[in-house]
Amino acid sequence: MGKQLCIKWILFLLLAVSTSHCNGVYAQMKANEVQNPKSESLSSWVSNQDNILTQQTVDSLNRMLNRLYDSTSCQISVVAVKGDKMTSARELSMELFDLWHPGMKDKDNGLIILVVTEARQCFFRTGYGIEDIITDAKSTRIFNQTMKPCFINGDWDKGVLQGTVECVNQIYKYYDGGGKNENGGKEIRNMAKGLIACYIIMGCLVFAFAFYQLNNSIKYIEHTFRSKRVNTYRKTFRNYVGIVALLSVFTLPVFYIIYKRRLKNIRHEKIFCPCGSEMKLLSEKQEDEFLTHTQQLEETLHSRDYDVWLCTACGRTEIYCYEENSPYEVCPVCHAKTYGVIAEQMIHTGILSQHNILRKTYSCKNCHHRDYKDERMQSSAPFIAGSMAAGAAGRSSWGGSFGGGFTGGSFGGGFSGGGGGGGSW
Q: What is the pLDDT of residue 222?
A: 86
Q: What is the pLDDT of residue 150?
A: 94
For residue 154, give the nearest of 53, 11, 291 by alpha carbon: 53
The answer to whether the pTM exceeds 0.85 is no
Residue type at 53 in one-letter notation: L
Alpha helices in 51-181 (DSSP H): 55-72, 89-100, 136-142, 148-152, 156-174
Task: Decide if pLDDT at 3 tops 60.
Answer: no
Q: What is the pLDDT of residue 347?
A: 82
Query: For the ranges 309-318, 330-339, 395-404, which has the lowest average pLDDT?
Result: 395-404
Q: 31-180 has which CATH code?
A: 3.10.310.50
Q: What is the pLDDT of residue 19?
A: 46
Q: What is the pLDDT of residue 15?
A: 53
Residue 257 CA to residue 50 CA, distance in Å, equals 77
Q: What is the pLDDT of residue 369?
A: 95
Query: For the ranges 86-100, 270-284, 310-324, 398-412, which has the lowest average pLDDT?
Result: 398-412
Q: What is the pLDDT of residue 354?
A: 63
| Average pLDDT of the segment spanning 276-284 | 93
The dihedrals phi and psi of 390, each to the nearest 5 degrees, come to -65, -40
Q: What is the pLDDT of residue 315?
A: 92
Do 31-180 and 327-375 show the same overall fold? Answer: no
Model pLDDT for residues 31-52, shown as the tens digit of each residue = 889 999 988 888 899 999 999 9
Beta strands in 219-316 (DSSP E): 280-281, 304-310
Model pLDDT for residues 252-277, shown as the tens digit of each residue = 999 999 999 999 899 899 999 999 99
| Average pLDDT of the segment spanning 187-195 | 75
Task: Decide if pLDDT at 408 tops 80.
Answer: no
Which range among 103-112, 214-223, 360-369 has the greatest average pLDDT?
360-369
Residue type at 356 in one-letter notation: N
Q: CATH top-level class for 327-375?
A: mainly beta
Residue 135 CA to residue 421 CA, distance in Å, equals 8
| Average pLDDT of the segment spanning 70-82 | 93
Q: What is the pLDDT of residue 10?
A: 57
User: Quick one: CA torsion of 70, 74, 80, 83, rounded to 10 degrees?
Assistant: 140
For residue 276, give the nearest of 320, 312, 226, 303 by alpha carbon: 312
Task: Decide if pLDDT at 393 tops 80.
Answer: no
- Per the model's pLDDT, the better-predicted residue between 390 and 380 turns out to be 380
Residue type at 336 in one-letter notation: A
Which residues partner with 79 through β-bridges?
Answer: 47, 114
Q: What is the pLDDT of residue 417?
A: 81
Model pLDDT for residues 94-152, shown as the tens digit of each residue = 999 999 999 998 889 999 999 999 999 999 999 988 898 999 999 999 999 999 999 99
Alpha helices in 105-247 (DSSP H): 136-142, 148-152, 156-174, 182-216, 226-247
User: In the predicted model, what is the mean pLDDT of the chain?
Assistant: 83
pLDDT band of 25, cuts 50, 70, 90: very low
Residue 200 CA to residue 210 CA, distance in Å, equals 15
Domain ranges within the chain, ordered by starting residue:
31-180, 182-269, 271-325, 327-375
